[in-house]
Structure 1
Amino acid sequence: MCVSVTFIAIVDGAITTVALPSIARQFHLTTAALDGVVVIYPVCLAMAIPASAWLVERFGGKRVLLTALAGFLLSSLLCGIAATLGQLVAYRAVQGLSAGVLFPASAALLFSTFNTEEQVRISRYMIIPQQIAPAAAPVLGGLLVDRLSWRWVFYVNIPVGLPALLFGAVFLAAHRGSRPGRFDLPGLLLSASALGTLMFGVSEGPNRGWSSAAVLVSLVLGTVLLAATAVFELRVRHPLLKLRLFANRLFRDTNLLNLVGLIPIMGAMYIGPLFLQQAQHRSALESGLTTFPEAFGVLLTVQLVGVLYARIGPRLIVGCGTAGVSAVLLLFATCDAGTGLWTFRAYMFLLGVAMGCFFVPTTVASIATIDRRDLAHASTLNTVVRQTGGALAPAAVTTALVLGTPSAAAANPPVAAYQHTYLVLAAIAALTALFALTLPDGPARAAARATSGTSAGSPVPPEQGQEPCEARGGGAPDRPGARTGDWVG
């Protein structure tokens, strides 16, 4: 259930770019005029995230997850049948709002149901859509646009998401809501405005220029609103964003790792296709097939990480992984116009091997010492940080490329600009590795060891137990932990 949800939400965020030229021809516009179709999705996604924790606490994880998925699928259908650009942008906004609830709601449901040992195993499955989706989106989008039409980049969500929606409605264990306190409307208005404005500035900075009035106003206003949000949320009794969780050092440090560490990781995924298509003049299909080995490297490593996590802890795993990312980025910095595809594919595979040490440990360790009652809030904050880090990656890459490109060749960066950008990403990854080695992972190892002897069918210690659940159909007693035969996601 959650794997399907994650897959379609990530694909939808990446696949639309491929269809822009075809959409422009349909509406008799330039591709640049369709910027709103792309930007509105991450902006609305960021605006919806703050409300997700309160919704999960109030109405229960199952109900919120299925409602958000239904909204996502309906808006996908509407995007496909949109008759004007205005309609398409409006429906994309609904998609973004739905996705902003989907990510934290699915994460909160998973982490409140399973203990630490099971979370490590589940994260090994969740990494599959997170890696396959970005790699598959350009190839899938190209095939749909060429063979059918641009409308199918939205229709494709329905055959994947509808079975997941029906499956969840029938088999997903109900999660009772609680009384989370009065809804923090001022906090929502402040946080949504701050995150949406910042996301717009970060997304548009590389396109419009960081010195453009719209970008500068967005970044300054977003920063002011974010500061106001922090001050307000720390004072209110029932905050929408429980920023006090950042007082927990392990939670704070793992989120800092995600914020900064995702820049070189996602930046490498963003710059690879650009280098292949612009510097080496490869086709989109060749580019997609050449960057795809990264996913195999990640999937290989996460299996080993799942075994080592409880034994050596996240500190060494993440530190060594990000150091490996830095080393591979230095290899990419040696690539030029004559570098063979198989050499580039080998580097992409090695990059995936190193990246695989990052995702699972930071995800599991971030909630290892969080009270179970705060898991929905922790998942919301995790999602905010990851979305921000993911948005900063292409902005950092594009900015580095622009700085390394002579003004006369602005439309076509030289090979030296790409090499310079890879060096910048390698430096950020190296700094991230040094910080990762200071991670206080003793509590994370203790939490993993406390549940390592607990089978899937055994009770979980009270402090690691899930929030009360009620089985489908009602009447079943609340139970801690999950059993192998329970369909929970």
Structure 2
Amino acid sequence: MKASGTLTLRLVYVAAMFLVAMDATIVNVALLTIGSELQVPPARTGSINIGYLIAVALTLPVAGWLGDRFGVKRVLLSAITLFTAASVCCGLAVSLEQLTLFRIIQGAGGGLVAPVGMAMLFRAFPPQVRAKVSRSLILPIAAAPAVGPVIGGFLVDELSWRWCFYLNVPVGLAAVLLGGLLLRAEGQPSAGRLHLPGLLLSGPGFAMVIYALTQGTFLGWTSPAILTSGFGGLVMLAALVFTQLRASQPLLQLRLIGDRLFRTAGLIAFCLSAGLLGMLYVFPLMYQDVYGASALASGLTTFPEALGLMAASQLMPWSNRRLGPRRLMVISLFGAVILFALMCLVRSDTSPWLIRVLMFAGGFTLGHAVGAVQLLAFARMPGPSMGQASTLYQVLNRLGSALGVALLGSIMAYAGAADPAVPSAPDGFAYQAALLGAAGFLLLAWCLALTIRREDEEAVRPASKPAVPPVQAAPAKPTI
């Protein structure tokens, strides 16, 4: 590919990934306003993010096949178009059900961008320069979740929450037009056979289980709708596991979970995503609903958390050399548990700068934990299995994010944030209980980290560079 083509590809990929990554956080500070306008309690607005996260997780496994079958350029531009069109529909939504549906469609497009775009990008560059290209893309993509709450808060306060979605339109259209005119379609390998049973079982199965978890508090855990949805979803997921283990070309290579180190690291990553995304969902709601902060003030207060993640990504190689990934993960997770617990003590008279320090420290500790667990997850993974392992690892991350938001939303509702007339107790008990739930996810991750053996880190401790594919190297926030 010519120099102009590679530059165009970089611009298109960065623009698309920036939008997808920013959408993971830009809506959080608008949830209270959205709930008020659409007349739903704060605890129920979690479905706006849950639908997005599930859609991202479910499109990841099929992204590679779609790129090989229809061409990576066509799939990439189609994904950006779908994401942009769904953004317009989100801005026009007049009910929570409509907004959740359009967020699911938006997530389906966003979930295709990262794997398909990275495949096209890496095919355009020889192996010896891929690492340099990957490093140059980390900063703008990592910055997107950091600026999301600030931009979202400004738009909510000065214009409308709907502009959090309309903002995607000009950037998305520019990326599609630029890519359509200047990107050249590349040859692609044979697509192989799509495992259709896995695709048909995974989507409805995950959706039904998450629906039961999020709506059980409102409809009653023994209601026919919740029992049918929950039981039916579990049956479909059990069938998914059965079919994937027997298939010669499965949608998800679940046999990789048989590796003890990969399995443990994947569960830790699952809990990390649940705790982090759950906290980023609960805390802005609490800060606005209970303590009367504006959406912009809430965004500026949570903003340092993403800065902590970015700082940790730069210090991770040095920290790994000094401590080793196992000790680094145990120490950083323990610190994160303490910091998340301290966030429950925030009051209306707490200094915003103290909260920002807590947020930065939380992002800094979790950033090290994410980097360490990624090193260990792929330490013993053979080269031919790296692609499938990377896909499975990303799916666990996204599902952890969805489950975290779902369960913490249920905790909020059960503890008293389900009544629209009384969004929360005067002292914010419902939100504090949910934040303790986020700390509980991190505590579970810490307990799992203690089970990792010292000999497991020997393959990665001496290395000065991560033994992970470049797309996995930086601590990444699950795109929502």
TM-score band by shorter chain is 0.7 to 0.9
What is the match of residue 428 of structure 1?
441
Partner of 1:362: 373
Q: Counterpart in 2 of 1:324?
A: 335
- Residue 411 (structure 1) aligns with: 423
Q: CA deviation at 1:229?
A: 0.4
**Structure 2: unaligned runs, 5 residues or longer:** 1-9, 471-480
Q: Taking structure 1 as reference, are residues 83 and 433 closer, same or farther at Cα in structure 2, changes over 3 Å only?
A: closer
Offset at residue 147 of structure 1 (A) = 4.5
| Whole-angstrom distance in 2 between the partners of 1:35 and 1:274 | 10
Matched, 1:236 2:270: no
Asked if the contact 1:121–1:306 (Cα under 8 Å) also holds between the matched residues in 2, the reply is no
Instruction: Give the alignment of 1:67-78 within 5 angstroms.
Output: 67-77=78-88
- 1:194 aligned partner: 205
* Structure 2 CA distance for aligned equivalents of residues 446 and 173 of structure 1: 40
What corresponds to 1:289 in structure 2? 300
Per-residue Cα deviation, 1:251-273 (whole angstroms, up to 9, x for no partner): 22221111112232223322322
Specify the alignment match of 2:478 in structure 1.
none
1:345 equivalenced with 2:356 (yes/no): yes
**Residues in 1 aligned to 2:322 and 2:128: alpha-carbon distance in whole angstroms:** 13
Give the RMSD, CA atoms, in angstroms.
4.3
The match for 1:470 is none
Question: 2:154·2:296 contact (CA, 8 Å) conserved in 1?
Answer: no
Tell me if structure 2 keeps the 8 A contact 1:322–1:430.
yes
Unpaired stretches in structure 1, ≥5 consecutive residues: 454-462, 467-489
- Contact kept in structure 2, 1:61 and 1:105, CA below 8 Å: yes
**Residue 225 of structure 1: how far off its partner (Å):** 0.6
Q: CA deviation at 1:321?
A: 1.5
Which stretch of the first structure deviates more once superposed, 47-56 or 106-115?
Answer: 106-115
- Measure the CA separation in 2 of the matches of 1:123 and 1:210: 47
* Cα gap change, 1:148 to 1:355, in 2 (>3 Å): same
Residues 199, 388 of structure 1: 8 Å contact kept:
no
Amino acid paired to 1:446? A
Counterpart amino acid of residue 403 in structure 2: L
Question: SS of the counterpart of 1:182?
Answer: coil
Q: 1:142/1:352 Cα in 2 relative to 1: closer, same or farther (>3 Å)?
A: closer
Worse overlay, 348-357 or 248-257 = 248-257
Amino acid in structure 1 at the alignment position of 2:22: V
| C-alpha distance in 1 between matches for 2:186 and 2:320 | 29
Q: Which residue of 1 aligns with 2:4?
A: none
Matched residue SS, 1:292: helix
- In the superposition, the TM-score normalised over structure 2's length comes to 0.77
Q: Normalising by structure 1, what TM-score?
A: 0.75
Are 1:280 and 2:291 matched, yes or no? yes
With over 3 angstroms needed to count, the CA separation of the structure-2 counterparts of 1:394 and 1:64, relative to structure 1, is: same
Go from structure 1 to structure 2 and tell me whether the alpha carbon gap of 1:199 and 1:403 turns closer, same or farther (over 3 Å shift). Answer: closer
Q: How does 1:109-128 map to 2 (within 5 A)?
A: 122=134, 126=138
Deviates more, 1:228-237 or 1:188-197: 188-197
Amino acid in the other structure paired with 1:362: V
Query: Is the CA contact (8 Å cut-off) linking 2:412 and 2:418 kept in structure 1?
Result: no
Q: Does 1:439 align with 2:467?
A: no
The 1-side partners of 2:250 and 2:322 are apart by 37
> In the alignment, is the contact (CA less than 8 A) between 1:402 and 1:410 conserved in 2?
no
- Inter-CA distance 415–41: structure 2 relative to 1 (3 Å threshold): closer
Q: CA deviation at 1:232?
A: 0.6
How far 1:186 moved relative to its partner? 1.6
Using a 3 Å threshold, how does the CA distance of structure 1 residues 271 and 95 change in structure 2: closer, same or farther?
closer
Q: Distance in 1 between matches of 2:131 and 2:449?
A: 21
Distance in 2 (CA, whole Å) between partners of 1:191 and 1:320 is 35
Count of aligned pairs between the two proteins: 453
User: What is the aligned partner in structure 1 of residue 238 from structure 2?
Assistant: 227
Contact 2:53–2:401 under 8 Å retained in 1: no
Tell me, what secondary structure is at the counterpart of 1:446? coil
- 1:380 maps onto 2:391 in alignment: yes
1:154 aligned to 2:159? Answer: no
Q: How many Å separate the matches in 2 of 1:60 and 1:442?
A: 43
Q: Please, which of 12, 20, 23 is the counterpart of residue 9 of structure 1?
A: 20
Report matched runs for 1:134-149 at 5 Å. Answer: 135-145=146-156, 147-148=158-159
SS in 2 for 1:338: coil
In 2, are the aligned partners of 1:111 and 1:119 still within 8 Å (CA)? no
1:484 corresponds in structure 2 to: none
Which residue of the other structure, out of 280, 285, 298, is the alignment partner of 2:309? 298
Task: Quickly say closer, same or farther: Cα 1:259–1:43, change in 2 above 3 A.
Answer: closer
